[in-house]
Structure 1
Amino acid sequence: MIKVIGIGPGSREWLPPVIDQIVASCEVLFGGKRALELFPNFPGDCIILSGKLSETIQEIRLALTEKKQVGVLVSGDPGFYSFLPMLKREFPKTEISVYPGISSMQFAFARAGLPWQEAELHSVHGRPLNRLPLTFQKPLAILTGGENTPQKVAAYYDGYGINLKISLGNLLSYPEEEWVTTDAQMLAQEKKTYNHAIVLLYPPSLKEGDNLENTQTLENAGLGIPDEEFIRGKVPLTKEEIRVQVLAKAKIQENDKVLDVGAGTGSLSIEAAQLARRGWVFAVEEDNEAQELILLNQTKFGIPNLQLVRGTAPQAFEKVPQVDVCLIGGSHGQLKEILEKAPLRSGGRVVLTAVTLETVGRGLELLQQQDFEEIDVISIQAVRWKGIKDFHMAQAMNPVFILNARKRQLE
């Protein structure tokens, strides 16, 4: 049998008495050095967990072969980002008993004086920062560790122009405990080392005394907002039928960051933001009238995760961080420079629309030259049938070409 034992935040006074009884029932105990020091009178064998988990697994397997009762100490609670999932995978036929502890996450919310049943919990210890949501209406708590320090989390949000209020708890429950409330800009510049930290991010919409259960996130309203719903001037609008196809090719995920080049009235940006409801959309536009229309439509549709970037591409890209998807609707003869300088991550998707054969040919040539793969081209000519008295007459729209490709992954 393997007993997976949560030791809570890591100090003796936060261990319930029953944990001592469970540890005493084991014959061999695995844990980190600090965890094992909590049980100085343990009579059995103590084995410090190796940095190489494969070695630890072999040690546990050997102890089980010798019919020993195995205890594995994990910090916090075993059910929250611990060694437990690996143990269940490696020992599927072994009985595994789990004993809860107070997680550092519980401790952090207690320090903040906030309920956490509606909060969102993440870990960036060994996981990429770019999967963290940029749009959220409820507290976001993050376990940090390894290369992803609290400062890097703060810099990630500050890089998107999101200066959130942040609380940081380091070494919670220890004599050296720190609890600091600051903001993303300040924390990103902090030089102090935080080795065992939880960061708690407060959404901009959350005010003191708010009921967390009544807050809402941006929901995907579905593709294909009718053209007449958008506020329009003399600026060209990407038609509904084309938007649907472009967004289908873009394969936008809810946490994605999207760049819309030549955003026009913002119709594509609006729908992209609804798909990337926990990500962010950067709408690059140089025309003054179009810029104002983007802002008006953003307000009309209540889109919080859209940022207008005033300027001409590719020069305006200096204001845009790395993105997962790049939509290109207008290039003004600078398609080569736009594709070269777009801040598209390795493996990200680009979707380009064109209305002339020359642009299609140039786009294909550039995508092949610039090391894109999975290049695909379709052409669409939508026809709307308008009712006139007892008949329906065809209203053909201009054909549009849609090119899409994936930026080749770095080796």
Structure 2
Amino acid sequence: MIKIMGIGPGSREWLPPAIIEIVMSCDVLFGGNRALELFPDFQGDCSVLSGKLSTAILEIRTALTEKKQVGVLVSGDPGFYSFLPMLKREFPETEMRIYPGISSMQFAFARAGLPWQEAEFQSVHGRSLDTLPLTFQKPLAVLTGGENSPQKVAAYYQQYGLNLKISLGNRLSYPDEEWINTDVQTLAHEKNQYNNAIVLLHPFSFDDERKENVNIEGLGIPDEEFIRGKVPLTKTEVRVQVLAEAKIRETDKILDVGAGTGSLSIEAARLAGRGLVFAVEEDHEAQELILLNQSKFGIPNLRLVRGTAPEVFAEIPPVDVCLIGGSQGRLKEILEKAPLLPGGRVVLTAVTLETVGGGLELLKQQGFEEIDVVSIQAVRWKEIKDFHMAQAMNPVFIISGRKAKKEGKE
């Protein structure tokens, strides 16, 4: 049998009394140095868990073979980012008993005075920062560690222009505990080291008095729902096909070049509900329309970038998808300088054969893969008295491709 015990945040006074009794019933105890030091009176054998967990697995297997009662100490709670999943995989036939402790997450939310039953939880200890959502509606608790310090978490959000409110708990429950309420920009430049930290990111609140009660479900917002002015609008039928070719995922970062009224940016932002859209537009009227439509539909994960492509690309971090509408004859420069990640998708629209030919040639020259062209011509049927008359739209070409991955990458 393996007994897996949570020692709570790590100090003796927060150790559940029941855990002490269970520890004493074990023959051999596995845990980190800090965990083992909590039980100086333990009479059995102790084995320190280090970075090489494969060694610990072999030792546990040996102890089980010798019919010993094995105890494994984990910080916090065994059910929250601990050694437990690996033990379940390595010993599927072995009986396990789990004894809970107080997790750092619980402790942090208590310090913040916030309920945590609806919060989100992530760990970047040994994981890429790219796994963190950019947009979230509930508090986000992030366990840090390894190369990913709280400062790096803050810098990740800062590069996307998100100066969120943030709380930081370091060495919670210890005499030198630190609890800091700050923001992303300040924390990103903090010089102090935080080695045992959890951060709470507070969601951005999009509360604009201009927001209307617009109830739109699914893909393809009707054209008439957008505030248009005199700026051209990407029609619903084209918008839907472009987004289908873009293959947008929930956490994608997206660049929309020549955003116009923002119709495509807004639909893309709804698909990438935990990502972010950068809408690049140089026309002043169009810029204001983007902001008005963003407010109308209540889209928090859209950033207007005022200026001309590709000059403004220096302000934009790497993205997963690049949508190109208007290029003002600078498609070659835009494709060359767009901050598109290797493996990312590009989708561009064209209304002339010359632009289609040029776009295809440029994608081939720049090594794009999976290049495809779709042309669509939508026909709407307008009711006139007792009849429906055809209203044909101009044909639109949609060219898509995937940026080649770097050599040595899968």
> Residues of 1 paired with 2:143 and 2:30: CA distance?
23
The alpha-carbon deviation at position 179 of structure 1 amounts to 1.0
CA contact (8 A) 1:221 1:274 kept: no
> Residues of 2 paired with 1:263 and 1:124: CA distance?
34
- Residue identity in the other structure for 1:19: I
The alpha-carbon deviation at position 103 of structure 1 amounts to 0.3
Kindly report which structure 2 residues correspond to 1:3-402, keeping only aligned pairs within 5 A, or say none: 3-205=3-205, 221-402=217-398
**Worse-superposed segment, 69-78 or 47-56:** 47-56
- Residue identity in the other structure for 2:123: S
The alpha-carbon deviation at position 407 of structure 1 amounts to 2.1
> Residues of 2 paired with 1:89 and 1:408: CA distance?
36
> Residues of 2 paired with 1:42 and 1:409: CA distance?
54
Cα distance per residue 1:299-334 (max 9 Å; x no partner): 211212211111110101112112121111111121
Partner of 1:215: none
> Residues of 2 paired with 1:75 and 1:334: CA distance?
56
Cα distance per residue 1:104-130 (max 9 Å; x no partner): 111111111111112211111112222
SS at match of 2:57: helix
- Residue identity in the other structure for 1:107: F
SS at match of 2:35: helix
SS at match of 1:19: helix
In the superposition, the TM-score normalised over structure 2's length comes to 0.94
Cα distance per residue 1:187-236 (max 9 Å; x no partner): 110111111001112224399xxxxxxxxxx9983111111111112221
**Alignment RMSD (CA, Å):** 1.8
> Residues of 1 paired with 2:55 and 2:27: CA distance?
19
> Residues of 2 paired with 1:391 and 1:219: CA distance?
30
- Residue identity in the other structure for 1:327: L
> Residues of 2 paired with 1:56 and 1:369: CA distance?
52
Q: 1:206 to 1:401 in 2, by over 3 A?
A: closer
SS at match of 1:50: coil
Unpaired stretches in structure 2, ≥5 consecutive residues: 208-213
- Residue identity in the other structure for 2:71: G
**Worse-superposed segment, 305-314 or 349-358:** 349-358
> Residues of 2 paired with 1:206 and 1:314: CA distance?
29
SS at match of 2:244: helix
The alpha-carbon deviation at position 338 of structure 1 amounts to 0.9
CA contact (8 A) 2:206 2:298 kept: no
- Residue identity in the other structure for 2:310: P
> Residues of 1 paired with 2:330 and 2:315: CA distance?
18
> Residues of 1 paired with 2:340 and 2:249: CA distance?
15
SS at match of 1:55: helix
SS at match of 2:59: helix
% identical equivalent positions: 80
The alpha-carbon deviation at position 388 of structure 1 amounts to 2.4
SS at match of 2:292: helix
Q: 1:284 to 1:206 in 2, by over 3 A?
A: closer
> Residues of 2 paired with 1:219 and 1:13: CA distance?
52
Q: 1:67 to 1:370 in 2, by over 3 A?
A: farther
> Residues of 2 paired with 1:220 and 1:85: CA distance?
41
The alpha-carbon deviation at position 371 of structure 1 amounts to 2.7
In the superposition, the TM-score normalised over structure 1's length comes to 0.93
**Worse-superposed segment, 316-325 or 257-266:** 316-325
- Residue identity in the other structure for 1:375: I
Q: 1:81 to 1:137 in 2, by over 3 A?
A: same
SS at match of 2:391: strand
Partner of 1:211: none
CA contact (8 A) 1:384 1:395 kept: yes
CA contact (8 A) 1:137 1:206 kept: no
Matched pairs, number: 401
Partner of 1:212: none
- Residue identity in the other structure for 2:248: I
